[in-house]
């Protein structure tokens, strides 16, 4: 009986020592996140695993598209150093301890991969990824005519140079002088002229095509007396 009691006591002591082993909390990567950091000044505390992710105010939209990006960091040891590749070309676009937030203006359509790298004061580093889809905006046709009224026959100058494409360029201008459904003029030059021989009210129609293949159509009115 005495031997059994001695054996049970020894086991209890060993288990008690094992449960007291270690001076600080232990990070368990299976917890799904960092535990709360220990109180400041705790000699048993250690640096928790660094984690980061990218917070985007929008993930898609029509060009030109402004996007605000924020680095959210957990664990590690401050201060943190941030590096951003916002074009997906493998080159850092922003870097420093004060760039946890950046604003990016995407002028052209495309799918942009975003890479954030955070390094803490202890030498840990962590990379996070994001993605923004920028869709083509399409061109805008802006037809102008001068003069817009006069006696027949009347020579009218037609000007499409105020047309624009925010995320690229216009590659073709077409004019339908009388809006009969037939485009009488096609060129890379936006300007042309036409003589209206008969009285009446005409709509001169401009159609523009951009480098993404998108089109836009608009008309201006001309009155022949």
According to the model, what pLDDT value does residue 21 have? 39
Domain with 160, as residue range(s), is 139-224
Read off the pLDDT of residues 126-184 as tens digits, 9 standing for 90 and up.
999 999 999 988 999 999 999 999 999 999 999 999 999 988 899 999 999 999 999 99
- pLDDT, residue 25, reads 31
Q: Are residues 149 and 220 in the same domain?
A: yes
Q: Round to whole Å and give the CA distance between 45 and 35.
A: 12
Beta strands 125-135 and 60-62 are parallel
| Count of C-beta atoms within a 10 Å radius of residue 211 | 14
Which among 21, 25, 6, 110 has a CA at the least distance from the CA of 62?
A: 110
- Give domain status of residue 29, yes or no: no
- Considering the domain architecture, whether residues 178 and 118 belong to the same structural domain is answered as no
CB 152 within 8 A of CB 199: yes
Are 144 and 76 part of one and the same domain? Answer: no
Same domain, 167 and 209: yes
On whether residue 37 sits in a domain, the answer given is: no
Q: Is the pLDDT of residue 19 over 90?
A: no
Q: pLDDT at residue 73 above 80?
A: yes
CATH number of the domain residue 179 falls in: 2.60.40.10
Total of domains in the chain: 2
- Asked whether residue 96 is assigned to any structural domain, the reply reads yes
Statement to judge: residues 114 and 181 lie in one domain: no
Q: What is the pLDDT of residue 5?
A: 40
Does the pLDDT value for residue 46 go beyond 80?
Answer: no
Asked if pLDDT for residue 3 goes beyond 70, the answer is no
Compute the mean pLDDT over every residue in the chain, rounded to the nearest whole number. Answer: 84
**pLDDT at 8 exceeding the cut of 90:** no
Q: Which of 135, 157, 191 is the last residue of a domain?
A: 135
Does residue 33 fall inside a structural domain? no
Tell me, yes or no, whether 208 lies in a domain. yes
Q: Which domain-ending residue is among 78, 107, 135?
A: 135
Same domain, 172 and 113: no
Nearest alpha carbon to residue 177 among 157, 153, 163, 161: 157
149 & 131 share domain = no
Q: Specify the pairing of strand 110-119 against strand 125-135.
A: antiparallel
Q: Mark whether 99 and 156 lie in a shared domain.
A: no
Tell me whether residue 69 is in a domain.
yes
Both 107 and 148 in a single domain? no
Read off the tokens for 20. 């007291």
Q: What is the 3-state secondary structure (H, E, C) of the chain?
A: CHHHHHHHHHHHHHHHHHHHCCCCCCCCHHHCCCCCCCCCCCCCCCCCCCEEEEEECCCEEECCEEEEEEEEEECCCCCCEEEEECCCCCCCCEEECCCCEEEEEECCCEEEEEEEEEECCCCCEEEEEEEEEEECCCEECCCEEECCEECCCEEEEEECCCCEECCCCEEEEEEECCCCCCCCEEECCCEEEEEECCCEEEEEEEEEEECCCCEEEEEEEEEEC
User: Mean pLDDT over residues 75-89, rounded?
Assistant: 96
Which of 135, 164, 182 is the last residue in one of the domains? 135
In a domain, 159, yes or no: yes
Token pair 């009446």 is found at 200
- With bands split at pLDDT 50, 70 and 90, how would you rate the model's confidence at 12? very low
Residue 199 included in any domain: yes
144 in the same domain as 192: yes
């Amino acid at each position: 009986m005495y031997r059994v009691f001695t054996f049970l006591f020894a086991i209890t002591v060993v288990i008690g020592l094992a449960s007291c082993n270690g001076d600080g909390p232990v990070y368990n990567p299976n917890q799904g996140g960092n535990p709360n950091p220990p109180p400041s000044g705790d000699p048993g505390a250690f640096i928790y695993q660094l984690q980061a992710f990218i917070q985007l105010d929008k993930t898609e939209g029509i060009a030109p598209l402004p996007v605000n990006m924020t680095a959210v960091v957990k664990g590690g040891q401050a201060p943190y150093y941030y590096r951003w590749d916002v074009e997906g070309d493998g080159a850092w676009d922003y870097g420093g301890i004060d760039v946890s937030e950046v604003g990016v203006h995407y002028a052209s359509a495309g799918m942009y991969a975003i890479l954030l790298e955070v390094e803490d004061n202890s030498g840990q580093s962590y990379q996070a990824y994001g993605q923004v889809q920028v869709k083509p905006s399409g061109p805008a046709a802006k037809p102008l005519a001068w003069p817009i009224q006069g006696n027949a026959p009347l020579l009218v100058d037609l000007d499409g140079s105020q047309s624009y494409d925010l995320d690229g360029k216009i590659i073709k201008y077409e004019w339908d002088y009388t809006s009969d459904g037939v485009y009488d003029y096609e060129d890379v030059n936006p300007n042309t002229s036409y003589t209206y021989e008969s009285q009446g009210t005409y709509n001169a129609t401009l159609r523009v095509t951009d480098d993404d293949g998108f089109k836009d159509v608009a008309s201006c009115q001309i009155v022949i007396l």
